[in-house]
Structure 1
Amino acid sequence: MFRKCIKVMILMFLFISMIIPVSAQEVMKSQQGKNLNIQTPKFAYVGSYTAKERDGHGKGIEVYRIDSTSGEWKSIQSVDGFNPAFLALDHEGHFLYAAHGDGTVVSAFAIDQESGQLTLLNQQATGGKNSVHLTVDPSGRFLLVANNTSGNITVLPINIDGSLADFSDLVDLPGKMGPNRAEQASSHPHQVSFDPSGHFVLVSDVGLDKIFVYSLDQIRGKLIANDPPSMATRSGAGPRHFAFHPTKSYQYVINGLDSTITTYQFDDKGGKLQPIQVMPTLSTAFVGNSAASEIMIAPSGKFLYGANRGPSNIGVFSIDQVTGTLTPIEWVSTQGKGPRFFALDPLGQNLYAANQNSDNIVIFRINSLKGTLIPTGQVIKTGSPTCIVFR
């Protein structure tokens, strides 16, 4: 009897060991295929500076089709426009919105779902000047715009057809100017974005050395100051752009003026920030002048990337998954000049460095295990690139 029980148990073990891995593999393959269908981009939209005052060589917004096999970019449309400094998609990828550097309006475009091409819907006044960043709220009903020169944030209702209505709110950012009289003569908001929960709106202000926190009244389209309403950064830091960890409660702010990255613990219940680390974006071997520009985090949450315009490189940092703190890994040349912006594709497989001053976008492959950057040799020639979004 005992031997019979042993045989039955062995047979059951063999059966389970054969069936479960196969089932798990099939689930994984199915999920991977689903993710690829959702996340692999078919089109890239590139904004560029066009004005002589910005030494702009761009055409406006360039639309590229991305070959799914080779990754090659093919230009399929050029849309004339004044200094499209930043671009944002709605959450379903049906509409694209453009902020115009040194301008006073934002533009709304419809996206043809098959061809990827753009059709202008309308332009709407922001009530401010020099719009440098914009984002769509989680409900898809409002567009928020950061006006850098006038020091305010605009809220624009989005109509059902994707066009923009007159602004429902215009909020000036209060505070004391930073010590850098050349760059901090007044409020200069440079990014407006929602936290991952969608409950809070955060604004990084280069001129006031502050990060403001609001909530959005989605009935009236009004911004409501949080309590406390802002977080002071290190004096003269110039907080420019920021990114949130995809799964943990950390926010990372790249400070443009002193070339550092500040790690914050973010309270997504109260909207409060607690600084826990300041890390230089530059290698100790670099002794020249520089200004930091863009920051991104890999979808895995394991690596962070920050751009430096002085040495024209990307700093690569590992993220401690327990403490949230950063450790430098390497600095990689962008193979161009003045990386104002860079982007990661949605799968986190490639990094695209937009070199504003050398009129090119250079593509790097990302080592998923180490986070390091490997040049692919692929370069897209385009004038004065300022922003890239994928669809």
Structure 2
Amino acid sequence: MADTLIWTGSYTVDSGGNGKGIGALLARPDGSLEPLGLAVACDSPSFLAVHPALPVVYAVHEHAQTVGVYRRSGSGVTLEPLGEAWTAGAAACHVAVDPRGRFLVVACWGDGQVLLYELDADGAIASRREVEPSRDPYDAGRPSRAHATLFLQDGRIMTTDLGHDLLRVWDYVPGKGLEAAGELALPKDSGPRHLAQHKDGTVFVVTEYSIEVAAVRAGTDGRFELVSIGPAGASEVSDGDAAAEIALSPDGRHAYVGVRGSSRICTLRITGGPAGDDGTGLEPVADTPSSGDWPRHHLVHEGWLHLAHERSNDVVTFSLDPESGLPAGPAARLETGSPTALVVGGSA
């Protein structure tokens, strides 16, 4: 195993945070973290994505309602703006890059917009397209709250709408943008937030409000159906809890859910067989204190779990037991202002 570069998003003073912009840190094979400094100063880059082939990083500037493009300068970790920032929507909170590097998708929590930005050969933004607005499947008059994007194994795109309890599926059509290819309503007021796809095709969705994990899977006709939904954690939900991120272990045996409020990381065992039988489900194993305040995002990498604590201003690292999947530690702690996202950025 080699050292790994991790880019860190943050909340800055415009959002009441203590961050300065996009940071960089080095994760070593022994689990230790080394700060590499501020890569670029910018306003509240609350979520990040990395181009699959180019030294380019994308950031949503949540308070400024823009999406920025940054190119790595030389062999160091300095980032420089690649063109002007583009307009996004209210509280743009998530950005994801097409695995082929053709476009970005940005989700906006404030106004529910899902936006597509096509990229040029240098990774810069070339155009911006809006998509069809979400409609509340429960007709309850609730605001739309788009929150995350996942590129599916079959080439389609799935987005979450936390306000409408909705998963939306899209096809990308070059020159036209995203075209609706289906949707699935989750239980009312569950609040689907982030999501991850298992190697067997099942998509696991963490729900912010109900603190659950839903398993959904596409049938032979391509339409997604709800396979199961159950508690994210082994312990009771506390007042003020809000689920955040979900990540899967590389071997597909465990899932990890961060819960803000009670500040814990929930380990779940992935059960069931391959696609085609009665489904892949999740069984809560144990909850572990996250050793910080408000675990907003986390990253599973090379046998380690790195947790970004927005309110205690640190990144905490746990080792993961290869058999039980349970985190142990913490093994390392790195102070950094209001971290909100951790994204692998390649070699240092």
With over 3 angstroms needed to count, the CA separation of the structure-2 counterparts of 1:177 and 1:356, relative to structure 1, is farther
Range moving further from structure 2, 253-262 or 149-158: 149-158
With over 3 angstroms needed to count, the CA separation of the structure-2 counterparts of 1:178 and 1:256, relative to structure 1, is farther
> SS at the partner of 1:58?
coil
Q: How does 1:1-391 map to 2 (within 5 A)?
A: 36=1, 40-52=2-14, 54-67=15-28, 71-112=32-73, 114-167=75-128, 169-176=129-136, 185-197=142-154, 199-217=155-173, 219-226=174-181, 229-245=182-198, 247-267=199-219, 270-322=221-273, 323-345=279-301, 347=302, 349-390=303-344, 391=346
> SS at the partner of 1:166?
strand
Q: Is the 8 A contact 1:124 1:165 kept in 2?
A: no
> SS at the partner of 2:311?
helix
Residues in 1 aligned to 2:79 and 2:127: alpha-carbon distance in whole angstroms: 22
Structure 2 stretches lacking a partner, 5+ long: 274-278
* Structure 1 residue 103: Cα displacement: 2.4
Residues in 2 aligned to 1:359 and 1:236: alpha-carbon distance in whole angstroms: 30
* Structure 1 residue 109: Cα displacement: 1.0
More helix by share: 1
Range moving further from structure 2, 361-370 or 149-158: 149-158
Aligned to 1:3: none
Residues in 2 aligned to 1:290 and 1:67: alpha-carbon distance in whole angstroms: 32
More strand by share: 2
Amino acid of the structure 2 residue aligned with 1:255: T
Q: Is the 8 A contact 2:211 2:237 kept in 1?
A: no
Identity of aligned residues (%): 25
With over 3 angstroms needed to count, the CA separation of the structure-2 counterparts of 1:99 and 1:270, relative to structure 1, is farther
Q: Is the 8 A contact 1:187 1:205 kept in 2?
A: yes
Amino acid of the structure 2 residue aligned with 1:188: R
Amino acid of the structure 1 residue aligned with 2:58: Y
With over 3 angstroms needed to count, the CA separation of the structure-2 counterparts of 1:357 and 1:170, relative to structure 1, is same
Q: Is the 8 A contact 1:177 1:186 kept in 2?
A: no
Amino acid of the structure 1 residue aligned with 2:20: K
With over 3 angstroms needed to count, the CA separation of the structure-2 counterparts of 1:361 and 1:274, relative to structure 1, is same
* Structure 1 residue 96: Cα displacement: 0.6
* Structure 1 residue 134: Cα displacement: 1.1
Q: Is the 8 A contact 1:210 1:230 kept in 2?
A: yes
Residues in 2 aligned to 1:85 and 1:383: alpha-carbon distance in whole angstroms: 12
Q: Kindly tell me the number of residue pairs found equivalent between the two proteins.
A: 340
Amino acid of the structure 2 residue aligned with 1:319: I
Q: Is the 8 A contact 2:66 2:86 kept in 1?
A: yes
Residues in 2 aligned to 1:177 and 1:299: alpha-carbon distance in whole angstroms: 34
> SS at the partner of 2:216?
strand
* Structure 1 residue 177: Cα displacement: 7.4
Rg (Cα) greater in structure? 1
* Structure 1 residue 104: Cα displacement: 2.3
TM-score where L is the length of structure 2: 0.91
